[in-house]
Amino acid sequence: MEEKYDKIKYDSKTNIFINQNANYQFQEIRDELFARLEFLQGSQFHTQRRHRKVIKTELQDEEVYIKSYSPTHTDNFGDKLKNITLFKSTALKEFEILLRLEELQLPVVKPLIVVEREVIPLVKESIIVTLGCPGIEAREVIASEEYDFDFKRKIMEQACDYLFRLHSFDIVDSDYKFRNLLFVELEAEQFKLVLIDKERAKINCQSKLLKIKGWGKFIANWINMLVNSSSLNNKLAKDELNYYRNKVINNLSVNFLEEKLLNYSIHRKLKVEGIVV
């Protein structure tokens, strides 16, 4: 056994990476994990998105999610390219990002294990296992008529707080949206959001333009969710868009060209969704 990457234990015999804070024995966990992986060949998945598939199961008496990245999961050439790597697989990159978020004490699903299997030279199937987390996707709450606008606004405010914190640590996630936030209900009508699915996030990204572009896409995601759920009419949606647009402009001290980029990112995303505000 050898140590490989900070905070990760690696065993070359089993080709498994383990969170050093997780109490697993390599060979033991390998046998049990691969028994679960046979289900990845079937059709009963918790979620399935293009180049990745996810199952919800139990591993050593714990509820976990097993997410597989493989070129065999998609016919899309661009998605197949995501599994071509000289160094780290998609799952291992996500593993390190989740560990970094955990270190920064951000609410995130706990990463446990990564296992890699080479399909052909330079192409890997990679699997990441995370601890189960009670909750539903935040987009389901926003789309629901069960919750009023004021409650949904609280979700948006917490999500914005998380995004500001991510950017303050120079972490940029091009896929930051309500689909990738878990809504966990607490007592007395309280809740918390938990970050999930971080395979597209980048660490040590100081680009202000990428951060602004990310904000544009997220604001558009918020407006899109509200309009489609009939939570707001077009006029109120425009007011809401301007509120968060101005909030980003003020907090990031954007200049004229950066403001143009923010507006373009918002309206380009809304146009794709067929929404005019």
Tokens of 101: 């978020």
Which pLDDT score, from 0 to 100, does residue 119 have?
Answer: 72
Torsion angle in degrees (nearest 10) through CA of 263, 272, 162, 191 = 130
User: Is 258 in the same domain as 159?
Assistant: yes
Which of residues 244 and 54 earns the better pLDDT score? 244
Q: Would you put residue 126 in left (φ > 0), alpha (ψ -120 to 50) or beta? A: beta
Same domain, 110 and 160: no
204 shares a domain with 120: no
**How far, CA to CA in Å, does 257 sit from each of 212, 241, 261?**
11, 19, 6
pLDDT tens digit sequence for 172-231 = 999 999 999 999 999 878 999 999 999 999 999 999 999 999 999 999 999 999 998 887
- Tokens read off for 108: 């995130």
Is the residue at 151 inside a domain? yes
CA distance 139 to 3: 39
The percent of residues above 70 in pLDDT, for the chain, comes to 86
Q: Is the pLDDT of residue 39 over 80?
A: no
Categorize the per-residue pLDDT at 5 as very low, low, confident or very high, splitting at 50, 70 and 90: low
In tens, the pLDDT along 137-170 reads 999 999 998 999 999 999 999 999 999 999 999 9
Residues 101 and 8 in one domain: yes
199 falls within a domain: yes
Query: Does residue 79 share a domain with residue 34?
Result: yes
Question: Considering 74, 101, 131, which residue would you say is the last residue of a domain?
Answer: 131
List the Cα angle 55/60/66 in 5-degree steps: 20
99: enclosing H helix or E strand: helix 90-103
Total structural domains in the chain? 2
Kindly state whether residues 81 and 178 are assigned to the same domain: no
Residues 66 and 146 in one domain: no
pLDDT, tens digit (0-9, with 9 covering 90-100), for 67-121 = 888 766 555 555 555 555 656 888 999 999 999 999 999 999 999 999 887 777 7
Q: Please tell me the predicted confidence (pLDDT) of residue 3.
A: 42
* pLDDT, the chain, mean: 86
Q: What is the pLDDT of residues 234-259, one digit of tens each?
A: 888 999 999 999 999 999 999 999 99
**So what's the pLDDT on residue 1?**
37
Same domain for 109 and 168?
no
Domain co-membership, 161 together with 227: yes
User: Which residue, 15, 114, 123, is CA-closest to 71?
Assistant: 123
pLDDT at residue 86, as a whole number: 58
The most distant pair of C-alpha atoms in the chain lies apart, rounded to whole Å, by: 61
Residues 153 and 196 in one domain: yes
Average pLDDT over residues 262-276: 89
Domain that holds residue 255: 136-272
Q: What is the mean pLDDT of residues 33-59?
A: 66
For residue 194, which amino acid is it?
V
Kind plus residue range of the DSSP H or E element containing 190:
none
Query: Does 269 have pLDDT greater than 70?
Result: yes
Regarding whether 71 and 55 lie in a shared domain, the answer is: yes
